[in-house]
Amino acid sequence: MLTSITDGFLCCLLGKSPNAVGPLDSLDHGDGFTFLEVKPGRILRIRHHVPKNRPEFPQGKPQNEDEDDEGEESRGAVRCKRRITLYRNGQLLIENLGDSNSAQNAEPAELETPDHVGIAAPGKRRKRKPKKVVTVDCHKRITSCKSTHADVVLFFIHGVGGSLDIWKEQLEFFSGLGYEVVAPDLAGHGCSSAPPVAAAYTFYALAEDMRAVFKRYAKRRNILVGHSYGVSFCTFLAHEYPQLVHKVIMINGGGPTALEPSLCSIFNLPPCVLHCLSPCLAWSFLKAGFARQGAKEKQLLKEGNAFNVSSFVLRATMSGQYWPEGDELYHAELAVPVLLVHGMHDKFVPVEEDQRMAEILLIAFLKVIDEGSHMVMLECPDTVNTLLHEFVLWEPDTPRGDGDTK
């Protein structure tokens, strides 16, 4: 800690930011790692595992394996229709419509169906003019994604201060089952390059990085797994590529609210001050991120390379969390099955936020792990792996000729 304080004072005196440029480590190609240049000079480290002896599956090729196995094209077919009304005061009214022709001529402000989410519809004494009305009509096939299917890819995206190493247990588990997995380091994290300008760490800049990774490795059915801030990038990709994103898994991602950096956050302090405080911040993260704070948890934190980024990158990433489009309406429009995993002892994300997310999403399942906290995939890897695998294999039980849900 004395070294950190000394380095911080020197940086303040010299007017430099500690560890502002360059990744924390360097790593050669090998062991399933590769480096992808998403932009000139902007290089991301990626863990990519492809099972041996698997046939090539070109992107965009129609899916045939499930049809052969199941013998029914209608199996797993889901028809979802909902109308979302956003009022000028920010209140949201969601109506889940079973029949595509029902309530076409009804006024959104007067409907009182039992499937409303959020604020109740106003009384008949006065009609309110909505700011925006969106109709989501989803008709898609949700199928079981088996390890033998060559058109399935699992993407794992970490959050602020982490690295792809936090997914160690999940990557080993799914690659061992025979799945193709992809896990990138965000810019400035892990072994990815760290640009020296704060603009390189805004939500939009990082989201475009994830878009490049997705477009590089995506196949027919892609499953996105995100943790914390990484959930926002999964949501972004699912919204941008609804035909390619088959399922989404959100781990301690929080509520469906627009991102906006806090003006009173400790991360607004100068990088040199944050560098001085780095031991305290690491200890605070250990206490808030794990249900227990023993030697095992410290080792997990070290092995996961979590909260091991430069003070400059940490400050820029936290300050760059501005995404006004990612509000409740944005999430309510998603027409993809979502599994929400929450660690009950999480001090960063209250369980009420994930509960609200489950209410807003069209097809969502919330699973709470009592023994876990924010870093639940490190604390309870077997439980998390089981939940994820069950969801990957899940498909809706729709009788022949009946594809409606909700």
User: Which positions are annotated as active-site residues?
Assistant: 228, 346, 374
From CA 404, how far away is CA 370, in angstroms rounded? 33
* φ, ψ for residue 387, nearest 5 deg: -60, -45
Which DSSP category does 252 fall into?
Answer: S
Contact between residue 230 and residue 224 where contact means Cβ atoms under 8 Å apart:
no
Give residue 229's identity as a one-letter amino acid code: Y
From CA 259, how far away is CA 277, in angstroms rounded? 25
Neighbours of 228 (CB within 10 A): 24
- Distance (Å) of CA 90 to CA 132, 173, 201, 327: 10, 43, 29, 10
**Which residues in 293-329 are b (16+ Cβ under 10 Å) and which e?**
eeeebeebbeebbbbbbbbbbbbbbbbbbebeebbbb
Which DSSP category does 268 fall into?
Answer: G
Q: Is 99 exposed, middle or buried (0-12, 13-18, 19+ CB in 10 A)?
A: exposed
Q: Any residues with CB less than 8 A from the CB of 264 and at least 6 apart, and which? A: none
Question: What is residue 111's three-state secondary structure?
Answer: coil
Show the tokens assigned to 86.
């956003």
Q: Is 41 exposed, middle or buried (0-12, 13-18, 19+ CB in 10 A)?
A: exposed
Which among 79, 111, 106 has a CA at the least distance from the CA of 94? 111
- Distance (Å) of CA 374 to CA 173, 188, 236, 353, 378: 20, 21, 22, 13, 9
Beta-bridged to residue 83, according to DSSP, are 95, 135
What is the CA 55 to chain-centroid distance, rounded? 29
